[in-house]
Structure 1
């Protein structure tokens, strides 16, 4: 990932915003995705506050350092977004991309006593790979960063109680894949809640399926390239 240039990171992160809008993950002006830039000084790309996800272009993304200073760009950022994303980028060397959403299904599961259940093959991909963070209010207190990181630990995703979802990845493609299927797992759980007689998968079977998913993680890039082709057909200006 360290060899990925800024132009490619901008394109991929802008693509993630457009795809999120396409999938209905946006929350008006709120929530945020980030990508850490290569270099000795930690800095990351994030959306400027005030744009809908469907409007974000590669050139719109601003660069912020870990002290909260806008290094490049003519706009400001969501303060809560800085708290969350800087926390993860500072603590997790492997978390080059961080995605945070407020989807209906994600927020519903974030309010569930037992969190994410093992109801389906898709849910099994997250077996013992999701952390949980207790809600502390809107993330404006930089002191929360240490607790966020502790809650995330070495997991690929975090369920923010009474708030939403967060995913991390070694690339935008990885983090977006994780969020796509984590949100799908939450949608499955939300739909299953209306049924009677729903049961969870046995722990051993969930663990086995999760290991199988991990063995196929190389396929994520193929899916990302397919999503980029979809954007190139439907809204190619995201690259501008």
Structure 2
């Protein structure tokens, strides 16, 4: 990994190396890795308190069949999901592997995102408290903190809430609002993030939720001072890249896989 890609890297000994996203010798190995990452992502969502009944879903594209994606079984606790529990569904809605149903909204939203964005490997959505609260304001995140700059001019706002997402047309509109960004705020609903890996998509969700919380607190206390556009864009290039998103998730991955190894089953 080249140092410029990780803004915070400092002095290191000769030969020292930072972890980088893995490569694979077979489709089967990559598929298993993606499923394990997805299960770990759900465990993190459970630990962060992002569950709200049966709402919320994370998906990862199958490495062999790009129009297929793995998703959580409908109605299963985030905190209990294992790699073997995941369901494989195609963009037409057919369940190809798994013995439990899929959340209709998960299929409608994620099928259109994966179809519209071939670069997206994973997408994450849940009804987290601060994301829900912030979404009711129908505004984008402001560049008021270093962390929020990851999303500066790189997230959309979907301002056409029409109830629970059950229709294909709304899935298409959400995908259009996401556009080429890493995230979209769904008005009166919550947050949705995407990435080139499960780790990246999950990290963007976690830090976006926290950025919503920070802005809500700052707005309640007074008038937040915005970071100027030039500095915000520079900061985005430091903390908002695909590699930075993947790398910042690694401490969380280490924690969850060490404390909940049953997720690999």
TM value normalised by structure 2? 0.84
Aligned-pair distance for 1:72? 0.5
2:60 equivalent to 1:44? no
Q: Distance in 1 between matches of 2:127 and 2:239?
A: 25
Structure 2 residue aligned with 1:24, among 11, 36, 49? 49
Alignment match, 1:207: 233
Alignment match, 2:199: 173
Structure 1 residue aligned with 2:133, among 87, 104, 108? 108
Alignment match, 1:68: 93
Aligned-pair distance for 1:126? 0.7
TM value normalised by structure 1? 0.93
CA RMSD of aligned residues (A): 1.8
Q: Distance in 2 between matches of 1:218 and 1:143?
A: 32
Q: Distance in 1 between matches of 2:105 and 2:77?
A: 17
The aligned runs of 1:1-240 (5 Å cut-off) are 5-40=30-65, 42-133=67-158, 134-214=160-240, 217-240=242-265
Flag the structure with larger Rg.
2
**C-alpha distance after superposition, 1:84-129 (max 9, x if no partner):** 0101011101111000011111111111143312211111111100
Structure 1's unaligned 5+ residue stretches are: none
Structure 2's unaligned 5+ residue stretches are: 1-22
After superposing on structure 2, the runs of 4+ consecutive aligned residues of structure 1 that deviate more than 3 Å are 1-4, 219-225
Q: Distance in 2 between matches of 1:196 and 1:67?
A: 48
Aligned-pair distance for 1:174? 1.2
Is the contact between residue 147 and residue 239 of structure 2 (CA under 8 Å) also seen in structure 1? no
Is the contact between residue 29 and residue 53 of structure 1 (CA under 8 Å) also seen in structure 2? no
Q: Distance in 1 between matches of 2:81 and 2:189?
A: 23
Aligned length: 239
**SS at the partner of 1:44?**
strand
Is the contact between residue 203 and residue 246 of structure 2 (CA under 8 Å) also seen in structure 1? no
